[in-house]
Structure formats: C-alpha cells, structure tokens
Amino acid sequence: MNLLELNEISVEYQLGKNNILALSNVSFSMYPKEILGILGESGSGKSTLALTIMRALPKNARIIGGEVIFNGKNLLNLSEDELNSIRWKEISIIPQNSMNSLSPVHKIRDQLRDILLLHEPKLDEKEVINIMEEKLRLANISEDVLDKFPHQLSGGMRQRILIAASLLCNPEIIIADEPTTGLDVVTQYQILKELKNLQSAKGFSMMIISHDISVISNTSHRTVVMYGGKVVEIGPSDSVVESPLHPYTRMLLEVQMEISKKTQNELHSRTNFNKPHKSVGVNFTHHSGCPFVQRCPFATEKCKTEAPTLLKVNNDHYVSCFLFNK
Amino acid sequence: MEWKDYLLRRSAQLLLTVFFALIINFLIINLAPGDPAALMAGELATKEYIEAVRERWGLNKPIPERLVSYLLNVLQGNLGYSYTYLQSVSTLIAERIPVTLLLTLTSSIIAFFVGLLLAVKTSQKAFSKVDLFVSNMMLTIYSIPSFWLGLMLIGIFGVALRIFPTSGMVNVRSTGSGVFLILDIAYHSILPIVTLATIQVPIYYKIARNTIVEQSSEDYVSTFLMAGMSTSSIFKKYVLRNSLLPPVTVFALHLGYVLSGAALVEVVFGWPGMGRLLLSAVYSRDYPLIMGIYLVTSITVSLANFFVDILYTLLDPRVRYK
Amino acid sequence: MKSKLKSDNNFFYKYLLLWNRFKNYKGGLIGFYLFLVVIFIALFVPFLPLCDPYSIKFQSFLPPSFSHPFGTDEMGRDIFSRVLWGSRTSLSVGFGAALVSSIVGVLFGSLAGYVGGKLDELLSRIIDIFLMIPAFFLILLIVAIYGSSIYYVMLVIGLTTWPSTARIVRAQILSLKEREFIYAQKVIGSSTFRILFAHLIPNSIQPIFANSILQVASAILLEAGLSFLGLGDPNVVSWGKMIYSGTSYIFTSWWIAFFPGIAIVVTVASLNLIGDALVTILSPKTEERGAYA
Ligand SMILES: Nc1ncnc2c1ncn2[C@@H]1O[C@H](COP(=O)(O)OP(=O)(O)O)[C@@H](O)[C@H]1O
Ligand code: SF4
Ligand SMILES: [Mg+2]
C-alpha cells in the first residue's frame, strides 16, 4: 500500500510577467517505513515539491493540477482546518535553510511548545517539557537549548532542533529538505546517520531531499531523480547508483566519481559536494521536448519536440528517456 | 561582558554627540557678526552688563580658552541668562520641559498604536488597492504642516463647533484644583495632542507596515504554517512580535522632528511649553534662550536615541553589539 | 570593450526605463501631475492676469468670492494672488536647499564610500551624529542670529540636512565600487577623480534623485515653519507667514490661513508621492517582487 501518492502534479511560479513551470506532471509514491531520496540539482523543483505536499507554497505559486493522496484523501482539496490536523501530526518537515526557519525573537522552548500544543492541547506543562526533552535527546542535542534563541546556536544545532521539532507529534512522514546543506563534513555525516537510525527505530517514512548524490545514496532505499521540474528516473537506490539509466543520472554519477577520485586524500573532500555543481539554468519556457535535451549527449531530433514519459524498465526501476522507449 | 562593552561604546557615542552639539553652538556664537558678548547680553544691555557677560563666558580670551570656559559653564548647568525673562535659561527651560513632554509623549504613544493598527489592517492585503490608498493618504498627511493642522482643528472644533477650548493649558477663569485641574488640562490638551499624533501616524504606519510585510514572508512563518498553526495565530504570536522593534526605534529617530512639530503646535494652541518660549525668544532676539532650547533638544534627542538603542539590545536577542 | 565600459552610463535609456516603471504607481503619477501644475504656476505667475500680491487696495477680510477666489487678508491683499506667488518662495527654498544638501551629501558620501578606511569611519561618525541633532532648532538658531534672507534659509537648510544624502551615497558607492566596470576603469588606469565623478557618482544618481525629491518636500515644510515663527525672508510672499497672520483671525476669517496651508499640502504631498514611488521602484526588493507592484 502506498502511504503517500503524488499524481500528475504541476506547479508554476509567477515572476514579473513570466511564469516559471517549477513542477511538471510529477508522479510517484512513498511506501510505509521507507526512506525516499529526491535527487536533483538546485532549481530542479525539489523544494517546490516539498512545499506542495505541505501546501505551503509562496503566494506567487499556483498549483496547476494534480493530487496528493494521503490516507485516501487528496491534501490539495482539504479545508484549512482539516489540513492543519494533518500537518505535523501526520506529515512534518525539516525545512530547507534552517538558519531562519525559527522565529529569531522567541526562545526555542516557546516555539516548540507552541507547535506541540497545537496538536496536543490537553498536555500539561510537565508533559510538554518531557516530550520536548525526549525529542531533543533523540535529535542528539542537550535540553539546555530550550532556553536559547536561535541565533545563539550553531547551524548544526539549529538543524537538530528542527529535527526534534519534526518528531514532536510522532508523524508518519518526515520530509527533510537538504538536511545537511551548509553544515561541516563531520556534522553532515552524523546528522545523516542519526536520521537513518531514527527512521529505522521509529518506523516513519522519510523523504530526504538533496542535490548531493552521496547523501541520497547513503541514506535512501529508493531514489527519485528530478530534472527541470520533471521526474526523470525512479528506482531502488542500489540500481539507480549502480546501473543508472537516465543520461542525467549517469552524468551526476560521473561527476561524483571524478570528484572523489581527485580528492581521495584531501581532508575536506566533502565540501565540494555541497556546492550544487554548475547549474545550467533550465529553459522553462521550452515546455515541449525532453527537459534535458540541451545538455544530453544522446539527444536526437525527437527529443526536441516530444516529451518522453516515465516507463518501467525492470522491477521498480522507471526512466523517462527515449533511449529506453523504443 | 559583551553587553558592558557595548554600553560603554554607546555612552561614548552619546557624549560625542552632545559634545558635537555644544561645539556647533559655540561656533555659532563666536562666528556671529559683531560682538559675541553683546549678542549674548541682549540689545538693551548696559555696557557694564556686556562686560560682565564677556568675563563670565571668557569672551575676552583667545578661542581655545573661550571654548574651555564655555564648556565649563554649560557643564555647571549654566546655559546663560535670558534678558527678556530676567531668569536663567536653564530654569526657564526646566520649567517647560514637562509641559512639552506631556504633549510629545502622549501623542507619540497614540500615534504608535494608531499607526500599528492601520499597518496590521492594510498589511494583510499588502499591495491591494486599499493598501496603496492608505499609503498615499499617509504620505499626504505627512505633508501637512503641524501648525496649520492645529489651526484648522481650532477653526473647526473650537470656533465653529465650540466643543474644545482654542488656547492655553487651563481655563484661566476657573480656579479648580486637584482632579478638576487635571481634567481641565486633559481637556485643553486634546486638540494639540490630536494634531501632534496625526502628523506622527504616517511615520509609525510606514515602518510598521513595511516591517510586517517583510516579516510575513520570513521562513519561520512558513515553518509554523506547515506545523499546522493558523495564519492568524502565526500573525499574533510571531509576526507581530517580530515587527514591534523597528517602530520603537522610530520614536527616538524622529523625536527631533516631533519636538519641532510640538514647538509649532504649542505656538498655535498657546500651550505654555518650550515652543511658546522659543517663539517669544525669537521675537525678542533672546539669543541665550534660543541657544539653550537648541542645546536641550539636542541633548534630549541624543539621550532618547541612547536609551532606545540600549532597550533594543535588551528586547531583541539578535542584536550584535556593533 | 569600450562599449561595455560605457553601457552602465546610458542615462537617457535608464530614465526611460525608470519612467516606464513609475507610470504604474498611481500615487506617484498623481503627484507628478500635481507637481507639474505647481511648477507651471511658479514659472508663469508674473504673466498670469492676477492682482498685485502686495497691493493693499482692496477691502480687508473679504471672504472668498468670484472676484477674490480665496478672499482678502487683514491688509486687503488678494490671497489668491499671494498664494500663487508664494509658490516661488517655497519652490526656490525647496530646490535650493535640496541642491546644497545633495552636493554636500554626495561629496561626503562618495568620499567616505570610495576612500574607505579611517576616513570612512570618521565621516560615518559625523553623519550619525549630525543625523541626531534636531535640524529645525539648529536652523532656527542660525537664521535668528545670521539673518533670514531667502538665500540664507536655503543654504542653512541644505547644510543641515545633507547627512541623509551622504548616507545613501556612501552605501551606493560601496556596492558599486566592487563592480566589474569600475574594476575595468582601474585596470585601464583612470584617475580616482575620474572614476568617482565620471562613473561612480553618475551611477548612483537615481537613489540620490529620489532622496533629493523628498528633501525638497521637507525643506519646504521647514521653510514654512521658520516663516511661521517669523524667521522667513520678510521681503517675499511666504505661505508660512500667511498662515501666521491668519492665526489671529481664525475666529473670524478662516480663509486667510486656510488657503496657504492647502497650497503647502498640495506642493509637499506631490513631491512626497513622487519621491516615495521612486524610492519603492529603486529599492532592490521591488525588483524581486516583480508583478506585485
Ligand atoms: N518564490 C519563488 N518565486 C519564483 N520562482 C521560484 C520561487 N521559488 C522557486 N522558484 C523557481 O522554481 C524553480 C524550482 O525551485 P526549487 O523548488 O526551490 O528548486 P530546488 O529546491 O530543487 O533547488 C527554480 O527555477 C526557482 O527559480
Ligand atoms: S529523451 Fe533524449 S534528450 Fe532526453 S535524456 Fe533521453 S536521450 Fe537525452
Ligand atoms: Mg531547495
């Protein structure tokens, strides 16, 4: 059974007189108790995807079509009240850019308490504190932070607080948007390990979003590869990494291989992964054709005019490319 | 630790500002055409009095010594002697400061809340027609000279409708005391306070609106939204709290503007504060008095800025002591 | 290469773009048209068929009527004519003061921003301190002692209000001086003077322009306040002074103070509306927001 199902989701942003199509017919499912990786370079629509599921897109965004099915309900059709009972209690998120994800003038304690009480209004102060402390321990951070303000904490600590926050109501799904971006190598490694352990201990499903293929391949069971607002490949992470199908995925892997070869002995090798490799700016006005056509070494005339669709290649491995669509 | 450093540095800046204001004042006296002693003694002064003033302020000495003697005088609270009131300038001003502050502070507080309230209303529909209309209205109100507005209010509410007194702080014919005196003062202060509050509302409105609009698209808003908090709760608990500080600093930053507005409004309403004092000083060319008023307002504004800056560091945990 | 160096300097094109965006701001546009009317009046008032603003040949305290649209004052002068003539005083003081203020502000601001280091620190301190001194009282003191001719008033207002310009210019120069085309100028060996005056300052002129318009507005209000206290130039018709003389007659002849006040509000509001629209357009945040404006 699918826990979460995305069907044909399209989202556009209005920017000045232009419309940017950030998601185009995105469909995939999330299974119970799995870690699903979303891989794609910066600007490929990953955060837009996360915000669409949470229905928290910025004002200039418009969902053109599609549905998000959770527990048989389409989240995109729910009333604000119905939605608010699902938010955080069932699906929570560790937002991208944890730097400003909390209010700068409120103590961590007040912010976590507010969130918890929204969904568990009957708790007394003692229980609230117990739960907050328990979750902080799970996120491997001391309770002392409760009386601190966000700016008094390091990036890693803030990220851990947001992890603790996401656990507050024991949700079924946690979305982690670039959970390690901007952190130092050691912290990155620890946080990923902790997230993995938490997931297997608690049994929730987790969506890990990253531009870094090593983050995804080290954590997730299945991987969704996105390019230019479209899903280009889905498959078990092992097969995606070992036998990538889509030319874009192959390119990503080659780049990573090169980098790790070059920097094998360098201490700070990981920092290179953090930078989204040169983003070539996707041509969003060009809706017809394959989104990858401009960078694809295998592109044919057909790729310019027709859009490939996601097709099953072998067990649970799907790709959207004409090379596999004879 | 850090905070003490900041306090120290900020105090130094305060002293520097006050010192700067004093220097300007000193230069103005000494660069003025004619005899500075005669200037400070007044038009009708006798020769002996002019000489006494010269002695007292060291005006017969070279410039550096003059400066020292000037600073020493001011340090002792001696701002000179008003030859029209035949009283020391510091006493004259000290008597009137509370009367002026009553107008200034009350009107600022009212304007703060009115501005904030309007901003809360319009920022919910930022960039809508209503929002733009209110913004333009505010700009127009900001363009009204305070003294004219006061005069028009007198014309409407005092003369035509006869609901408010047109001048003064108390009814000269009544001999009320205690509660009645206070009520009488409050009654007389309504029009001047409304005038002064009106010209300040645009200032608070603008900063509050812009801050709220800015804060409403901060990342933490989206966090709480995704956590299931209603937009109105987020606004009340988080956005508003994050938007309060900039308007508070505006109080100090615009205090100079408000004090000058108050001075003019006092003249219109015959309110016996510093503004009235200033007017009569200007009319009789009572230079020590004008200088005193300039100095006292400068110091008041510097002090207000000092305290608000310190307050800011206490209210806003983010402030880095720069 | 040459054209690349110059491309940032295409004034005409820049202003065309600015106007195209300005047109979308209704408030700013209304302000602009109002201001055109005010300017027209100030420029052509001597040629308009008006009574002499100084002539005292009419009856005093005549209420507004067909022959005297704004009535007559306590000395029997035609208020309509005086209000129109007063625009000249207000606008000259406004523009004169803003000009002085801009020149001094640009000079200090660009020096601070471009030279940087210790000089910047010193100038910034002075700017901060100056901003804290209540301009009105300082201006009043100076004018009271040194005299209140219209040129003095202009000069003094300009010399006390420059720090806000300086601050804007400094920030502007700081961000511009790291840009490519300035770097290119340094590489080809242009002098500091040339870089500053031919490239940096012209390229920061738009924000200064917006600020200057707001300064014209505030200078007009300052002058009105001074004249109201009796410190205006006694030889010219001034709205502030007219309001002051109307104060004594508010019980009987409201029109004496009413119309000059309206003139001030219209003039100052038109400038504030223009200035505010420009500031909004030129702020970097607006560009991000795009269609919302
Ligand atoms: N608020 C916004 N307004 C306009 N365009 C946006 C906005 N947010 C994102 N976009 C655009 O949508 C596309 C996808 O962005 P995003 O979902 O943030 O990608 P990712 O998270 O993969 O980096 C990008 O081209 C980006 O420029
Ligand atoms: S569809 Fe064509 S352009 Fe797109 S990835 Fe496949 S081969 Fe390349
Ligand atoms: Mg993202």
Write the ipTM: 0.91
Write out the two tokens for C113. 């921003």
**Alpha-carbon span B156 to B165, nearest angstrom:** 11
Among C145, C139, C230, C159, smallest CA distance to B288 is for: C145
Which segments in chain C show pLDDT lower than 70? 1-11, 284-293
pLDDT the model gives residue B1? 53
Contacts of C246 in chain B (CB under 8 A): 151
Separation between Cα atoms, residue C52 and residue C54, nearest integer Å: 5
Ligand 1 centroid to Cα of residue A226, in Å, is: 13
pLDDT of residue C285: 63
Q: What is the 3-class SS of C185-232, one letter each residue?
A: HHHCCCCHHHHHHHHHHHHCHHHHHHHHHHHHHHHHHHHHHHHHCCCC
pLDDT of residue A231: 95
Q: Say whether A15 and C290 touch across the interface (CB within 8 A).
A: yes
Contact with chain A for residue C12, Cβ under 8 A: no
| pLDDT, tens only, A86-123 | 999 999 999 987 678 999 989 999 999 999 999 999 99
Closest residue, chain B, to A59 (C-alpha): B217
- Residue A265 has a pLDDT of 46
Q: Is B303 helix (H, G, I), strand (E, B) or coil?
A: helix
CB atoms within 10 A of CB C66: 5
Asked if residues C256 and C21 have their Cβ atoms less than 8 Å apart, the reply is no
Q: Which ranges in chain B belong to alpha helices (H)? A: 2-31, 36-41, 47-56, 63-75, 89-123, 129-142, 146-153, 179-216, 219-226, 231-234, 240-243, 245-253, 255-269, 274-283, 287-315
CB count, 10 Å around CB of B33?
Answer: 9
Q: Distance, in angstroms, between B126 CA and closest chain A CA? A: 12
C-chain residues near A15 (CB < 8 A): 290-291
C24: exposed, middle or buried (C-beta count within 10 Å: 0-12, 13-18, 19+)?
exposed
Chain A residues near residue B238 by CB distance under 8 angstroms: 103, 106
- Cβ–Cβ under 8 Å, residues B143 and C213: no
Interface contact A149-B317, CB threshold 8 A? yes
Compute the distance between CA of residue A309 and CA of residue A319 in angstroms, rounded to an integer: 8
Smallest CA–CA distance, residue C63 to chain B, in Å, is: 15
- Is pLDDT above 90 for B248? no
How far is the C-alpha of B99 from the C-alpha of A185, rounded, in Å? 64
Ligand 2 centre and the CA of A61: distance in Å? Answer: 28
Per the CB < 8 Å rule, is A115 touching B238?
no
Identify which ligand lies nearest to the alpha carbon of A45.
1
To the nearest whole number, what is the mean pLDDT of chain B?
A: 89
What is the distance between the alpha carbons of residues C155 and C146, in angstroms, rounded to a whole number? 12
Q: Is the Cβ of B136 closer than 8 Å to some Cβ of chain A?
A: no
Within an 8 Å CB–CB cutoff, is residue C290 touching chain A?
yes
- Alpha carbon distance C293, C283 (integer Å): 12
| pLDDT average, residue stretch A290-307 | 90
Kindly give the pairing relationship between strand A4-15 and strand A18-30: antiparallel
Residues of C in contact with A60 (CB under 8 A): 291-292
Given a cut of 50, whether residue B185 has pLDDT beyond it is: yes
Do A103 and B242 meet the contact criterion of CB atoms below 8 Å apart? Answer: yes
Q: Which residues are registered as beta bridge partners of C72?
A: C78
Distance from C-alpha of A186 to C-alpha of A191, rounded to nearest angstrom:
9
B301 Cβ contact list (under 8 Å, min separation 6): B252, B255, B256, B259, C132, C133, C134
Query: What's the pLDDT at A326?
Result: 61
**Ligand 2, atom nearest to A302 Cα:** 2
A4-90+171-319: CATH number: 3.40.50.300
What does the pLDDT read at residue A283? 44
Q: Which residues of B touch A151 (CB under 8 A)?
A: 317-318
User: Under 8 Å CB-to-CB from A304, ≥6 apart: which residues?
Assistant: A288, A289, A290, A293
B137-184 per-position pLDDT tens digit = 999 999 999 999 999 999 999 888 888 888 888 877 766 677 888 888
Q: Which two tokens stand for residue A277?
A: 């490799």
Residues with C-beta less than 6 Å from any ligand 2 atom: A 247, 290, 292-293, 296, 298-299, 303, 308, 321-323
Q: Token digits for A112?
A: 């976590």
Nearest CA in chain C to B144: C265
Q: Which residue of A has its CA nearest to C291?
A: A16
CB C106 within 8 A of CB C208: yes
* Residue in A54, A58, A101 closest to B220 by CB: A101
Cβ within 8 Å, pair B257-C137: no
pLDDT-wise least confident of A274-283, B45-54, C123-132, C237-246:
A274-283
Domain ranges of chain A: 4-90+171-319
Which of A12, A13, A15 to probe by mutation at the C interface, max C CB count within 10 Å?
A: A15
C-alpha span between B195 and B146 (Å, rounded): 7
Structure confidence at residue A15 (pLDDT) = 83
B317/A104 touch (CB, cutoff 8 Å), yes or no: yes
| Beta carbons of A2 and A41 less than 8 angstroms apart | no
**Which residue type, as a one-letter code, is found at position B127?**
F
* Contact predicate B181/B170, CB 8 Å: yes
Q: Quick one: closest CA in B to C248, which residue?
A: B268
Rounded distance between C-alpha atoms, residue B8 and residue A171, angstroms? 50
What average pLDDT does chain A have? 88
Reply yes or no on whether the pLDDT at A262 is more than 80: no
Mutate to test the interface with B, among C218, C229, C262, C281 (most CBs of B within 10 A): C229
Q: Quick check: C140 and B294 CB within 8 A? A: yes
- Within an 8 Å CB–CB cutoff, is residue B128 touching chain A? no
3-state secondary structure of A137: helix
DSSP A44: S
**C285/A contact by beta carbon, under 8 A:** no
Q: Check if the beta carbon of residue C59 is closer than 8 Å to that of residue C68.
A: no
Residue in chain C nearest B260 by alpha carbon = C136
The H-or-E segment that residue A132 falls in is helix A125-138
Q: Is B211 helix (H, G, I), strand (E, B) or coil?
A: helix
Q: Is the pTM of this model over 0.90?
A: no
Residue A92: the pLDDT is 96
CB proximity list for A21: less than 8 A, separation 6 or greater: A10, A11, A12, A229, A284, A287
Could you tell me if C247 and B151 are in contact, meaning their C-beta atoms sit under 8 angstroms apart? yes
Interface mutation vs chain B, best among A82, A92, A102, A105, most B CBs within 10 Å: A105
pLDDT exceeds cutoff 80 at A286: no
Q: Which helix (DSSP H) or strand (DSSP E) does residue C153 occupy?
A: helix C150-176
Instruction: Quote the CA–CA distance of A1 and A17 in Å, as a whole number.
Output: 43
Closest ligand (CA of A51): 1
Q: Which residue has the higher pLDDT, A102 or B31?
A: A102
Rounded Cα distance between A221 and A236, Å, is: 6
A189 Cβ contact list (under 8 Å, min separation 6):
none
Summarize pLDDT for A160-178 with one digit per residue, the tens.
999 999 999 999 999 999 9
Touching A (3+ Cβ pairs <8 A), the chains are: B, C
Average pLDDT over residues A293-299: 90
Contact residues, chain B, for C224 at CB < 8 Å = 145
Ligand 1 shell residues, CB under 6 Å: A 13, 15, 20, 22, 40, 42-48, 58, 60
State whether residue A178 sits within 8 Å of chain B by CB: no
Smallest Cβ–Cβ distance between B220 and the set A93, A103, A119 belongs to: A103
pLDDT band at A16 (very low <50, low <70, confident <90, very high): confident
User: Tell me, what amino acid is at B190?
Assistant: I
pLDDT for position A275 = 38
Contact C273 B294 (CB under 8 A): no
Single-letter amino acid code for the residue at C71 = G
Across the interface, whether the CB atoms of A15 and C292 are under 8 A apart is answered no
A295 within 8 A of A280, measured Cβ to Cβ:
yes
pLDDT above 70 covers a percentage of chain B that reads 97
Chain A residues within 8 A of C292 when measuring between CB atoms: 60
C221 contacts B143? CB cut-off 8 A: yes
Please write the tens of the pLDDT for every residue from B266-318.
999 999 999 889 988 988 888 889 999 999 999 999 999 999 988 888 877 77
Q: Which two tokens stand for residue B251?
A: 């109080």
Please give the number of the atom of ligand 2 that sits closest to the Cα of A291: 4
Share of chain C above pLDDT 90, in %: 47
C20 touches chain A (CB under 8 A): no
* Interchain CB contact of A14 with C (< 8 Å): yes
Name residue B34's beta-bridge partners: none
d(CA A294, CA A299): 8
